[in-house]
């Protein structure tokens, strides 16, 4: 029987957790009722200065702390504390469909070492929508996957060494490439669950101009100085909640 750990990085997410975390628990309850499996939700509080930790606890999550401001390090800390045989990584501002964990565990039962669910972004501005459509096309052509909804067996996660904590951008793409290579070596493919979509918030797309998003979110910039806190400080700190 698969046990499941959901790992959610969170830095100052008090405005978003009440909206999005209940969708995680709804999907987990749905999976547990259907399969008899057991699961947990771990929120990794990453130096929040708001009520993120308290809210996550009130909503039913287990809260742990990571002080290093690196999304890879935060996910690895959550994975290290997890009890599940399957690790599912999502973000604090992502709504999960009800069948999320049913689909993920079905793929793993069929032999996958992990996989991902693509995101569906719905920003208000046309330029932002076109940018999102481009990235979805780019992902599809390259068999990649974003970190808003990735999963891996605990064994596969350990085998590939988890996320690279020194990478401040594109760490999810790099991790998924190694997971895919590991799957090929062990005859366990990754599964892109294209029949589902997770729905992230569109806060950066709504708050930043399309030109600014295009600068930070394009294949060339997304490969530049990925371990530089100075380079990526605007991405980490530049999106406000509302």
Give tens-digit pLDDT for 112-146: 999 999 998 877 787 777 777 766 666 666 666 67
- Rounded distance, CA 190 to CA 156, Å? 11
The secondary structure element, H or E, covering residue 5 is strand 3-10
pLDDT digits (tens, 9 = 90+) for 198-234: 999 888 777 777 777 666 666 666 666 556 666 666 5
User: Residue with structure tokens 């959550």?
Assistant: 78
What pLDDT is stored for residue 230 in this prediction?
A: 64
Burial code (b: 16+ CB inside 10 Å, e: under 16) for 140-150 equals: eeeebbbbbbb
Residue in 201, 241, 198 with CA at minimum distance from that of residue 88: 198
- CA-based R_g, the chain, Å: 17
Query: Do 2 and 85 contact (CB within 8 A), yes or no?
Result: yes
Domains and CATH numbers, the chain: 3-237 (3.90.550.10)
* Amino acid 242: pLDDT: 31
Q: How many other C-beta atoms are found inside a 10 Å radius of the C-beta of residue 22? A: 14
Residue of 205, 174, 22 lying closest to 96 (CA atoms): 22
Mapped onto helix, strand or coil, the DSSP state of residue 140 is helix
Give every residue of the chain whose pLDDT is below 50, as ranges.
Answer: 239-242
Q: Cα separations (Å) of 108 from 24, 88, 97? A: 19, 12, 18
What gap in Å lies between CA 122 and CA 16, rounded to an integer? Answer: 16
């Amino acid at each position: 029987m698969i046990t499941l750990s959901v790992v959610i990085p969170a830095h100052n997410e008090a405005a978003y957790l009440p909206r999005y975390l209940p969708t995680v628990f709804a999907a987990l309850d749905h999976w547990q009722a259907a399969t008899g499996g057991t699961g947990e939700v771990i929120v990794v509080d990453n130096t929040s200065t708001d009520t993120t930790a308290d809210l996550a606890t009130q909503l039913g999550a287990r809260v742990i702390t990571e002080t290093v401001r690196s999304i890879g390090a935060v996910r690895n800390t959550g994975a290290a504390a997890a009890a599940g045989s399957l690790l599912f990584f999502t973000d604090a501002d992502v709504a999960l469909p009800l069948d999320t964990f049913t689909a993920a565990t079905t793929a793993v039962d069929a032999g996958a070492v992990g996989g991902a669910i693509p995101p569906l972004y719905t920003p208000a501005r046309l330029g932002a929508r076109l940018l999102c459509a481009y990235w979805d096309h780019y992902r599809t052509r390259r068999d990649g996957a974003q970190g808003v909804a990735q999963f891996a067996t605990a064994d596969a996660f350990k085998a590939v060494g988890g996320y690279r904590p020194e990478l401040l951008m594109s760490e999810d793409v790099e991790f998924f490439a190694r997971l895919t290579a590991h799957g090929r070596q062990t005859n366990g493919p990754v599964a892109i669950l294209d029949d589902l979509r997770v729905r992230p918030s569109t806060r950066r797309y709504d708050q930043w101009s399309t030109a600014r998003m295009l600068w930070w979110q394009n294949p060339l910039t997304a490969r530049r100085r990925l371990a530089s806190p100075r380079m990526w400080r605007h991405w980490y700190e530049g999106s406000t909640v509302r």
